[in-house]
Structure formats: C-alpha cells, structure tokens
C-alpha cells in the first residue's frame, strides 16, 4: 500500500498476469491547472485536499511513478471486434476508503500509452467538461455511474477537427474492468489467464459468488442482471449512451465513457445524437437489444470456464442469456408503471404504458415533462397536455390508479421516479461552451440544480424547458477524443 496526504492506494490489479496492463506514466504538460474539484465526492471517499496547487502536483508529478498503469482490453465497436486498451488513460491506483471500499482513480486524457494506436492520448477540455457534468448528474439521478473527482486544464492546444484546449479528468469507479477485458482475455490470452481475470473480478466485486457451484456462470448471471437494472434506469430518465460498445460495458454495472451521450426531449425510440452512429445502432429504443448483445459476447468469453465440455458450456451460458427478455420486460414495465404511480407490475396494465409512449411519439411530446405532468402539482400546471387523446388516456390511468392505491401514494412514487430536471442538451452545450472560455457560471448553476433532480422548486423552472425543435434538428454529439 502507498499512502500520501490524499490517496490511500493499493494495486491489486497488478497481481494479474502482465498481459492485462502496461505500467504507464503521465505526460508532462506546460501549464496544468485544476479548474474543478468535487468536494462532496472527496469527503465521501475520505480524500483530503489542501489546495489546488498541491493537488495538481500530486496527480501529475507525485503519482508519475512505476505503479500507475493502463489496462489492456478488446471490444466490439459498432459490432466489429478489435484490440484496444487505455489509449489515453492511466489508473493511478486503487484508493481505499476508511471503511475499505476500493475505487479506481483514473486520469483520462493524460497522454500516450502503449495502447494509443497512433493517437496523442489526450482529451479536449470540452469533452471532459461534458463527462464531469453528466456523470455527476447521473449519480444524483440515482443511476450507477463513474464519478468525476477533478478536472484540470493542461495548458495545451490539441489538434482535432479544430484546435481545442486540453483537459484531464480524474475519474472514480468501482472498477474499470469491462466486457471487453474478458473478450481480450478469451481471444488473446491463455485459459489460465482468463481464469485469473475471472476470479480476480469475482473476489473484488462479487465475493459472494465464490459460494456458488459454478462461479463463472454465476458471474454471467449477475452481470446480466446488473446491466438490465442499469439500462432500465437509463430508459427511465431518457438517457442515450451513444456508444454502447462492449469495451464501454462495465462489469461493475456502472455507466461510464460518456462520449456522445445525450438525453431525449421529444419521445422517439429511434433517436440517436451521435455523429458516428450512422445506422442508429445505439438509438434510445435499441439500448435493450444492444445490452443483450453485449452480454452474449460476455457469455462467449466465459465459455472456456463455464464447463470443460464446450457443448455443455454453450447450453449453460445460453440458459442464462435466454432469461434476458423476460427479466427485461419485468424490470422495464415495473419501472414504467412506477413512473405513472403504480406499484404493482400487472401484465394487464402494460397497455397503459404502451399507449402513453405511442401518444408521446405520435404527438411529439417531451418524454420527461409528460411524466411530470401526471403529478398535477401547481408547479407543473403549464406542462399538462390538454388534447383529447391524452385526456382519454388519463381517464383510463386514473381508473386503474383508484383501484390500486390513493393518489397521494401514487404521487409520492412518481416523484421518486420522475426527475424534475435532467441535463437538457441545449443547456449542457451552452454551459460547456462558456466554461471552455473560462466562464463557469452556467456550469456551476447546472451542477447545482442537477444535484437535486427530484426537488420541486422555483429555481428548477428555467432548467425544465426542452430544447427547441430547431436545436434538436441540428444537434449532434461527438466522442471528443
């Protein structure tokens, strides 16, 4: 263990065979400067920060030691398998909190690594501002996510489509092990190395799985269920990840690598904002199918360990993956019924959800605000649709609601599941553009309001308005690497 006045580091990942990582140092940057510090996160992780100068020195200089590393992995990117790795990130270490919780501390945009594949290993300040803002918003929306500890300006101008300012994000996660890590192990490493990775992952993230008769199979089942829960939560708030490659699917069940993410405004299951998602592979409504596809790739990677007989191994893995559709349907409709104030997941109630979604799509209604309007608070009176189609649906809904619970209980359930504010695309873009020039006023306001997304207040009104149709028509997101 290595300690300093900030982090309490261990390096358990380095116990794996060295095919899984490369020891890596950060680049030297001309004028690094901390521009954002997440003090609440620091406190929750028992991290003490004295001042920004010490923080910069500690992250970029003191931690430039032989124990920092970049991870090797592979992945299916838009369905095509390729060898990858941390091309612009290093893990400084695994920070242990006072209660022995373990978190990776990763620098993103820290320079070239052995996996950079010709890239410069750097990140734009704007892309790191986006990840900082959205990852924190997701956390407060009660969705498992990587967290953002600090953001630094590097003082560099880096070449992309345009000349951009450089930035480095300090990212916190339970683990950066991903489906692509297992694909890498299965395709490029020995069976023994795959086994080492599998049991390291189990011991680190899910030690209770060791008690199961077939731990690799139990791991597949656990990861599938966690990913179903995660993506159901994405659908709850209208989040589009934008680049659901297998290397961006975490084993720990956390949202990460935010790249071209966005939030839908008008409900459209075919909506995709990513500039590189030409065929809408990762559109909003396709996310359930994609996570099932990714889990199938995880199952394939684990086949050598599930059973010594390959045919039997395939049968066992397939039996797990075959449960996906029923599990998804149960979780998805349960969540959607909660959004309309119904606690009981009854098959006969599912048409209520289908009809509401059809209505939103047909009449171009805002996804988040339509659900909000059901609570009938005075605060939201201007968002209530008043057309005949909605009124007809509303009558059916209230009839079912009255048969199951009182409105007060339903309203409480809706408030827990329908955020008042989400990161609206036009506000996120404006905040990022202004912060990139040094004006963080809107960025701070957004961070603050998004840290209380379920709170009804007069301050929230200005952040509830959807993006204009003109903005949405032309808006695209980019990986920003």
The residues with which 69 forms a beta bridge, in sequence order, are 23, 91
Of the residues 86, 247, 257, 366, only one is catalytic, namely 247
> Helices 407-417 and 324-339, interaxial angle, to 10°?
120
What is the DSSP annotation of 288-334? HHHHHHHHHHHHHHHHHHH-SSHHHHHHHHHHHHTTHHHHHHHHHHH
CA-angle at 308, arms to 305 and 314, nearest 5°: 75
- Left, alpha or beta for 380 (phi > 0: left; psi -120 to 50: alpha)? alpha
Burial classification of residue 87, based on how many CB atoms lie within 10 Å of its CB (0-12 exposed, 13-18 middle, 19 or more buried): middle
247 catalytic per annotation: yes
The encoded tokens of residue 244 equal 């659901």
Asked whether the beta carbons of 313 and 214 are under 8 A apart, the reply is no
The encoded tokens of residue 229 equal 């829960």
Residue written as token pair 């071209």: 260
For 74, 176, 332, 418, the CA distances from 235, given in Å and listed in that order, are: 27, 23, 8, 11
Catalytic sites, residue numbers? 247
């Amino acid at each position: 263990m290595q300690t300093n006045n900030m982090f309490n580091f261990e390096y358990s990942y380095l116990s794996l065979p060295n095919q899984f990582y490369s020891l890596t140092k950060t680049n030297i940057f001309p004028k690094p400067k901390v521009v954002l510090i997440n003090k609440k996160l620091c406190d929750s992780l028992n991290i003490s920060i004295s001042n920004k100068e010490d923080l910069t020195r500690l992250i970029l200089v003191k931690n430039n030691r032989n124990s920092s590393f970049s991870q090797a992995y592979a992945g299916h990117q838009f369905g095509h398998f390729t060898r990858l790795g941390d091309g612009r990130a290093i893990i400084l270490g695994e920070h242990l909190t006072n209660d022995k919780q373990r978190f990776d501390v990763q620098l993103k945009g820290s320079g070239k690594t052995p996996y950079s594949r010709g890239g410069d290993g750097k990140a734009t300040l704007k892309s790191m501002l986006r990840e900082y803002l959205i990852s924190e918003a997701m956390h407060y929306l009660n969705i498992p996510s990587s967290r953002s500890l600090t953001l630094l300006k590097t003082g560099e101008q880096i070449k992309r489509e345009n000349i951009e300012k450089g930035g480095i994000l300090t990212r916190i996660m339970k683990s950066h092990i991903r489906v692509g890590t297992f694909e890498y192990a299965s395709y490029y490493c020995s069976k023994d190395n795959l086994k080492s990775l599998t049991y390291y992952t189990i011991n680190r993230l899910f030690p209770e799985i060791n008690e199961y008769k077939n731990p690799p199979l139990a791991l597949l089942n656990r990861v599938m269920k966690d990913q179903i829960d995660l993506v159901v939560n994405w659908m709850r708030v209208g989040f589009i990840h934008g680049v659901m490659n297998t290397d961006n699917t975490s084993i720990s069940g956390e949202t990460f690598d935010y790249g071209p993410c966005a939030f839908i405004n008008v409900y459209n299951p075919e909506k995709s904002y990513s500039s590189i998602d030409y065929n809408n592979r990762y559109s909003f409504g396709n996310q359930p199918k994609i996570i099932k596809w990714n889990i199938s790739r995880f199952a394939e990677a684990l086949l050598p360990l599930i059973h010594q007989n390959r045919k039997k191994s395939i049968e066992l893995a397939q039996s797990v993956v075959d449960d996906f559709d029923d599990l998804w349907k149960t979780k998805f409709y349960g969540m959607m019924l909660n959004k309309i104030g119904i606690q009981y997941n009854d098959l006969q109630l599912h048409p209520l959800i289908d009809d509401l979604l059809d209505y939103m799509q047909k009449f171009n209604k805002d996804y988040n605000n339509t659900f909000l309007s059901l609570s009938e608070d005075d605060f939201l009176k201007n968002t209530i649709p008043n057309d005949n189609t909605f009124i007809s649906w509303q009558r059916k809904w209230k009839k079912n609601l009255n048969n199951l619970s009182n409105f007060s209980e339903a309203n409480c359930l809706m408030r827990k599941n329908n955020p008042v504010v989400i990161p609206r695309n036009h506000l996120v873009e404006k905040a990022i553009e202004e912060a990139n020039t040094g004006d963080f006023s809107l960025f701070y306001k957004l961070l603050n309001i998004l840290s209380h997304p379920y709170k009804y207040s007069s301050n929230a009104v200005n952040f509830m308005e959807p993006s204009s149709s003109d903005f949405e028509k032309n808006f695209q997101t980019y990986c920003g690497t």
